[in-house]
Structure 1
Amino acid sequence: QKSPESSRVLRIGGVLAGIVTVMVAGTTAVGGTMVALLVASPLLILFSPVLVPLAIAAAVVLGCLVSFLAVVAMVAWLYKYVKGRRPVGANQVDAAKNRIVDTASQVTEKAREVG
């Protein structure tokens, strides 16, 4: 059997070994990142007249694609709703529609009472 003191020493040693391992791994990661930046920086500066417009064009194309997909999804949802297939969220739309109709009828009643 191990004494309580020896297991405490082992636990502290394990924690210290873990801390050292994390520090070495972090230092290696930071060092690797710095070397990669040193190597890539001249290439990025050299090709930036090509890369910057390319990145802007890619962002615009991606934005247009996402917008197109959103419109297609919206039209598909509206088609299902109009055809009575009850897509997801149709209950909330119906509740909002009923609330608007109720409010409009209340306003009409108040207008008739007033004048």
Structure 2
Amino acid sequence: MAYNQQHQHQVSHQVAKTATAVTIGGSLMVLSGLTLAATVVGLVAATPLLVIFSPVLVPAAIVLFLITAGFLASGGFGATAVAVFYWMYKYAAGEHPVGAEQLDCVREKIAGAAAQLKGRAEQYSWKN
């Protein structure tokens, strides 16, 4: 008898999940259809206005885009500069910011290559 009740509980749970999924899915389908219809109606209503005002709107949109892009680029470059200066301050103060070990390694490699090059130049130079 317990098995039958457990089976009925699982079936009713599955039916409830399915009914909920169908209800939510159907509601979302109706909303997407209404959104599509409203978009089409809005586009049909706005198209004549866009055509009439396009000689003004297109250049205005281009100018607005360029101004926005300029401000965003300027802010990004400024934030990057502040971050770089902060990193350099920490490095110069003796703290070890992220990447300091890599910078030290590269500096040692360059110093070693310069010393090697100096040694070779001294070997091939003419001594007076």
Is TM (by shorter chain) over 0.5? yes
- Determine the structure 2 residue equivalent to 1:105: 111
* Superposed counterparts of 1:28-67, under 5 Å: 28-67=34-73
Shift of 1:68: 2.4
Runs (5+) with no aligned partner, structure 2: 124-128
CA drift at 1:33: 0.8
Q: Which deviates further from its counterpart, 53-62 or 63-72?
A: 63-72
Query: What corresponds to 2:29 in structure 1?
Result: 23
Q: 1:107 to 1:42 in 2, by over 3 A?
A: same
Of 69-78 and 29-38, the range deviating more from structure 2:
69-78
Q: Structure 2 vs 1, CA of residues 18 and 74 (structure 1 numbering), >3 Å: closer, same or farther?
A: closer
Q: What is the RMSD of the two structures over their aligned residues, measured on CA atoms?
A: 3.2
TM-score normalised by length of structure 1: 0.68
Instruction: Name 1:4's counterpart in structure 2.
Output: 8
Change in Cα spacing, 1:14 to 1:98, as seen in structure 2 (3 Å) is closer
* Percent of residue pairs identical: 20
Write out per-residue CA displacement over residues 80-102 of structure 1, whole angstroms, 9 at most, x where no aligned residue. 556x3x29xx7246445423321
Change (3 A) 1:30 1:94: same
Tell me which structure has the larger Cα radius of gyration: 2
Query: Structure 1 residue 20: deviation in Å?
Result: 2.4
